[in-house]
Amino acid sequence: MNILAIETSCDETGVALLKIGGRGAAPGTKNGTIKIPKVEVLENFVASQIKLHREFGGVVPNLAKREHLRNLPILYARLERRLRAKGKRLSFDMITVTVGPGLEPALWTGITFAKELAKKTGKPLVGANHLEGHLYSFLLPAGRDPKKAAPIKFPAIALIVSGGHTMLLKMDSLTARRTLGETRDDAAGEAFDKVARLLDLPYPGGPEIERIAHEGDPHAIEFPRPMLHEKNYEFSFSGLKTAVLYYMRDHAPVAVAATPSRADVAASFQEAVLDVLTRKTMRAVREYGAHSVILCGGVAANKALRLRLGRETRKAGCSFLVPLFKYNLDNAAMIGLAGYVTHLRGKKYPLRADGSLGV
């Protein structure tokens, strides 16, 4: 099955073409569940809006909508040209599009474009959940083999960590899962962005915090580890952000760019976030006897988090599954996967924007 996928949930416009196959029973699951599919990413285009939104310190929904309207036909035409250059024509069996969660003005642009394309081509259109896209992104090809993804053994613990979401899931198969806990306020990525603004760093804040954290001492400041010792799997990062604000208020020089203390704040803040994410994830691994750990979402691009969680996972004798860097950030390839699994499950997401859609 060839799948055309469209992603417009926030400030990246994505168009991708995937070749996917595989149906049946997956290892370690009951008969009738979906087999781990074989995936080949034929093309994957992303148009970023970071430069546009940077001057505002965050994503402006109506500006994002305007750019999606401009970028979608450009990326679709680029896809057609790329295939023609290879002596092929654009052909697909199904269209998938993100319906949520995300910014609703942005989501509607992708949905409308996909509906018009489905009407023009006569191909079926399937709504996809953006969070499921992140969750399944570990199935996208890794390494040099374009058809090879990392193996997984269930049960698995999945940590989805992004600008809008931070949650832990237990997965018994590709489709059987339950949420163990999620953030009660700010998501980890949101906290990174807010602390970056406190430190006078540009948007997006996550990569900037990570960049200057390399120059700082992660143990210089003992910031709190919110909810770390509570027996649940909930998260909270709002208090940590406030602790950084109070520290800066009482130590004014950290607001000055290029002072060593600013790097210490970034490094100490990042260390606190990583401590909470890693230790809660590994507690879930032990409690549920997990064989695999999945790390996904935009914050999964953080190298320190990948190294820390990967090290702890392997120490516990588990497989560590994390997408390539380019698949951690919003992209259409992961939406193609999410739509494919949704289609096989017989599930139907309404073809309308749902900014608060859950996983």
Inform me whether the pLDDT recorded for 344 exceeds 70.
yes
**Among 32-36, 80-84, 353-357, where is mean pLDDT lowest?**
32-36
Q: What is the pLDDT of residue 34?
A: 65
For residue 85, give its domain range.
2-142+325-345
Asked whether the beta carbons of 258 and 305 are under 8 A apart, the reply is no
Inform me whether the pLDDT recorded for 31 exceeds 60.
no
Instruction: Compare 141 and 225 and report the one with higher pLDDT.
Output: 225
Is 357 part of a structural domain of the chain? no
Query: CB within 8 A of 125, min separation 6: which ones?
Result: 94, 95, 96, 97, 114, 115, 117, 118, 351
pLDDT over 70 for what percent of the chain?
92
Q: What is the rounded average pLDDT of the residues 122-140?
A: 96
163 and 312 in a single domain? The answer is yes
DSSP 25: P
Threshold 0.95, pTM exceeds? no
Is 358 part of a structural domain of the chain? no
pLDDT over 90 for what percent of the chain?
80
178 and 264 in a single domain? The answer is yes
Place of tokens 């979401």: 165
For the CA atoms of 108, 175, 125, 11, what is the dihedral angle to 10 degrees? 30
Instruction: Please give the Cα distance from 355 to 359 (Å, whole number).
Output: 12
Is 110 part of a structural domain of the chain? yes
The CA–CA distances, whole Å, from 228 to 42, 71, 225, 321 equal 42, 42, 6, 23
pLDDT band at 164 (very low <50, low <70, confident <90, very high): confident
189 and 266 in a single domain? The answer is yes
Instruction: Please give the Cα distance from 197 to 202 (Å, whole number).
Output: 7
173 and 308 in a single domain? The answer is yes
178 and 281 in a single domain? The answer is yes
Is 148 part of a structural domain of the chain? no
DSSP 214: T
- The number of domains in the chain is 2
Is 352 part of a structural domain of the chain? no
165 and 209 in a single domain? The answer is yes
| pLDDT tens digits along 99-114 | 999 999 999 999 999 9
Q: What is the rounded average pLDDT of the residues 299-318?
A: 95
Q: What is the pLDDT of residue 25?
A: 38
| Relative orientation angle of helices 260-288 and 188-198, to the nearest 10 degrees | 170
59 and 186 in a single domain? The answer is no
Q: What is the pLDDT of residue 57?
A: 86
239 and 340 in a single domain? The answer is no
Q: What is the pLDDT of residue 249?
A: 87
311 and 330 in a single domain? The answer is no
Instruction: Compare 143 and 116 and report the one with higher pLDDT.
Output: 116
119 and 267 in a single domain? The answer is no
Is 207 part of a structural domain of the chain? yes
Q: What is the rounded average pLDDT of the residues 324-332?
A: 93
Q: Kindly report the backbone phi and psi dihedral angles of residue 306, in degrees, each rounded to the nearest multiple of 5, phi listed first.
A: -60, -45
Q: What is the pLDDT of residue 257?
A: 53
Instruction: Please give the Cα distance from 354 to 10 (Å, whole number).
Output: 13
314 and 332 in a single domain? The answer is no
Instruction: Please give the Cα distance from 157 to 139 (Å, whole number).
Output: 15
| pLDDT tens digits along 247-303 | 988 887 665 555 558 899 999 999 999 999 999 999 999 999 999 999 999 999 999
Is 115 part of a structural domain of the chain? yes
CATH number of 241's domain: 3.30.420.40
Q: What is the rounded average pLDDT of the residues 322-348?
A: 93
111 and 172 in a single domain? The answer is no
Inform me whether the pLDDT recorded for 158 exceeds 80.
yes
Is 175 part of a structural domain of the chain? yes
